[in-house]
């Protein structure tokens, strides 16, 4: 299994993974919109994507978005997306992707990696906690749908 920083050369493979990821979270399939969204992220430098692949077959991806901590005056990376295809689950692919994301965050001088997942996604929570991520009990997180 190889994990690498993705770019426009892998757009089709990543778009397919991203479409599957969105379906996993209850969205309708829309491969063309997924492709367009990712193409814009790559072209604008809005995010960093790592992908896992084996023998030319895409196994999973993670996408990081940049942010900043005003208090520490350092960058933060938001691990917004993590997905492994069903055929590659329970084989350590998510751990490899997280290794790459966390390594990248350290290399870029980030103060932390932040992430969230659905309350019902117990396997993801177990993975994150096994890696030392701590459930935030100090802050209430809110969002406003627009």
The H-assigned helical ranges of 3-59 are: 11-24, 31-44
Q: Average model confidence (pLDDT) for the chain?
A: 94
Half-sphere exposure of 122 (CA within 13 A, CB side): 0
Tell me if 62 sits within 8 A of 98, measured CB to CB.
Answer: yes
pLDDT band at 119 (very low <50, low <70, confident <90, very high): confident
pLDDT band at 142 (very low <50, low <70, confident <90, very high): confident
Tell me if 58 sits within 8 A of 85, measured CB to CB.
Answer: yes
Report pTM. 0.91
First and final C-alpha spacing in the chain: 40
Tell me if 19 sits within 8 A of 38, measured CB to CB.
Answer: no
Residue 32 to residue 16: CA distance in whole angstroms: 9
pLDDT in tens, 23-76: 999 999 999 999 999 999 999 999 999 999 999 899 999 999 999 999 999 999
Q: ∠ CA(61), CA(10), CA(84), 5° rounding?
A: 20
């Amino acid at each position: 299994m190889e994990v690498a920083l993705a770019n426009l050369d892998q757009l089709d493979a990543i778009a397919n993974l991203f479409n599957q990821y969105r379906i996993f979270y209850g969205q309708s399939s829309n491969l063309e919109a997924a492709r367009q969204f990712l193409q814009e992220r790559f072209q604008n430098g809005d995010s960093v994507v790592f992908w896992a692949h084996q023998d030319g077959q895409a196994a999973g991806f993670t996408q990081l978005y940049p942010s900043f901590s005003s208090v520490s005056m350092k960058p933060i990376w938001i691990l917004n997306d993590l997905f492994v295809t069903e055929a590659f689950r329970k084989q350590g692919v998510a751990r490899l992707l997280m290794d790459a994301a966390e390594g990248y965050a350290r290399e870029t001088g980030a103060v932390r990696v932040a992430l969230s997942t659905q309350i019902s996604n117990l396997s993801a929570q177990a993975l994150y906690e096994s890696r030392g991520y701590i459930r935030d009990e100090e802050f209430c997180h809110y969002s406003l749908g627009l």
